[in-house]
Amino acid sequence: MERVILHCDLNNFFASVSLLYNQTLVGYPVAVCGSVEERHGIVLAKNEIAKSYGVKTAEAIWEAKRKCPELITLPPIYDRYSEYSEKAKEIYSRYTDIIEPFGIDECWLDVTGSIMLFGSGEEIAHKIRRDIKNELGITASVGVSFNKVFAKLGSDMKKPDAVTVISSDDFRQKVWPLPVQDMLFVGRSTVEKLNSAGVFTIGDVTLCDDAMLKRLFGKNGLSLKRNALGLDTSPVCDQSISEKPKSIGRSVTEGHDFTNNEEVWQTFIVLSEDIAKRLRRHGMYAGGIQVHTRTTDLSVKEFSRALENPTDISIKIAEAGMKLFKENYYWELPLRSVGIRAINLKDECVAVQQDLFGDVENERRQEKIEDSIHSIRQKYGDGVIKRGRVVDKK
């Protein structure tokens, strides 16, 4: 039986929810923006009126106001966004229990087993769209298709408050003429490479030689072609089933620029403690470390390295990250943000080979300290015990 997959996208989500609490601004161009004082002065979301002026998500507030001088900016209200996201999922759950979030405002739904109860995929999509509009006061666009990639594409095709069906019979006519950047997982660098090879539409991808795609993108190139051909078979993953993460990381933008190694080191200690806590929660070890930097001119670089001995000890994660940072960054510019990530994660049940020439006793001592800190924080809260190195920073 052919699958029936929906992709539900809550339209202009942040702006729509914010306007529910600012009814007098309905009918005006409005954008939800980060704090200029905290150096996050960008557009996070905009309503349809602001969109008509060319205001774009992630652009600086000053750029947005140059396009739309009448633009009204509102601060984000994240607790309300989370509340409405959960309310939308409650509506989805009336029609299926197979729901996969794709960010706070998007979800895939597998309704294959629900059509005998609620009608066709298109009928279910309209019911969900009406429920969201009537009960939450916001709108949603819903794509209906036989796989996740085309369902997502469908929800993007008509906005706001619309339903688009892409079937196995008509996807060639509807999908193949679209620009290649409209397809899921096709980013800017991928578009540039494809365009340079004379590939501009999704239909063009289907005509590409497998060897060329593999040369340009590795195995992802073959997946790209399969998706364009309508051969995506990835399941909608019920998020109530706990999944092991592929990586765990944290980054931070401070209220001032980072200008020296000591500031980065103190930050890595704080971030690594959170990473270690999450590793323990999932019963995993870091098999590698990745460091992220963003300079004051907004250029981003990432460096990574495998660890000889996988670890879930925060100080060892911080030390490995700092060593990698020092080897690769030479302070050509101050840093606006830094981050550290545990990668190549391994289950704790997998035997970890000890370094024959390492200090095994010191390793065990650090593990005991980490266990004790973890137990204290679990019982009394994260703020009850801190490393002396970061007290001044806090």
> How confident is the model over 188-223, as pLDDT tens digits?
889 999 999 999 999 999 999 999 999 988 888 899
**Number of Cβ within a 10 Å radius of residue 72:** 15
pLDDT confidence of residue 224? 94
pLDDT confidence of residue 187? 84
CATH fold, domain 248-390, is: Dna Ligase; domain 1 (3.30.1490)
Averaged pLDDT for residues 142-171: 96
353 pLDDT above the threshold of 90: no
Token pair for 35: 């704090």
**Residues constituting the chain:** 394
> Per-residue confidence at 299, pLDDT binned at 50, 70, 90?
confident
- Residues 214 and 220: their CA atoms lie apart, in Å, by 7
DSSP letter assigned to residue 69: T
pLDDT confidence of residue 253? 78
Averaged pLDDT for residues 239-248: 70
Please give the distance of CA 99 from its chain centroid, rounded to a whole number. 17
Active site residue 106: yes
> Per-residue confidence at 379, pLDDT binned at 50, 70, 90?
low
pLDDT confidence of residue 9? 97
What share of the chain in percent tops pLDDT 70? 86
> Per-residue confidence at 358, pLDDT binned at 50, 70, 90?
very low
394 pLDDT above the threshold of 50: no
- Residues 302 and 328: their CA atoms lie apart, in Å, by 9
> Per-residue confidence at 374, pLDDT binned at 50, 70, 90?
low
pLDDT confidence of residue 354? 47
Q: pTM surpassing 0.75?
A: no
pLDDT confidence of residue 364? 63
Locate the domains of the chain by residue range: 1-10+78-243, 22-76, 248-390
153 vs 296, more confident: 153
322 pLDDT above the threshold of 60: yes
Whether the ω angle into residue 179 lies within 30 degrees of 0, i.e. cis, is no
Nearest to 128 by CA among 142, 115, 138, 114: 142
Same fold, 1-10+78-243 and 22-76: no
Contact 345, 248 (CB under 8 A): yes
Q: pLDDT tens digits for 4-17?
A: 999 999 999 999 99
271 vs 381, more confident: 271
The CATH architecture to which 22-76 belongs is 3-Layer(aba) Sandwich (3.40)
Mean pLDDT score of the chain, rounded to an integer? 87
Nearest to 310 by CA among 279, 346, 337: 346
Token pair for 337: 């943000």
- Residues 164 and 88: their CA atoms lie apart, in Å, by 19
- Residues 139 and 15: their CA atoms lie apart, in Å, by 11
Q: pLDDT tens digits for 85-141?
A: 999 999 999 999 999 999 899 999 999 999 999 999 999 999 999 999 999 999 999
Active-site option among 2, 38, 48, 106: 106
Q: pLDDT tens digits for 37-58?
A: 544 588 999 999 999 999 998 8
344 pLDDT above the threshold of 60: yes
The CATH architecture to which 1-10+78-243 belongs is 2-Layer Sandwich (3.30)
2 pLDDT above the threshold of 80: yes
> Per-residue confidence at 357, pLDDT binned at 50, 70, 90?
very low
377 pLDDT above the threshold of 80: no
366 pLDDT above the threshold of 70: no
pLDDT confidence of residue 380? 61
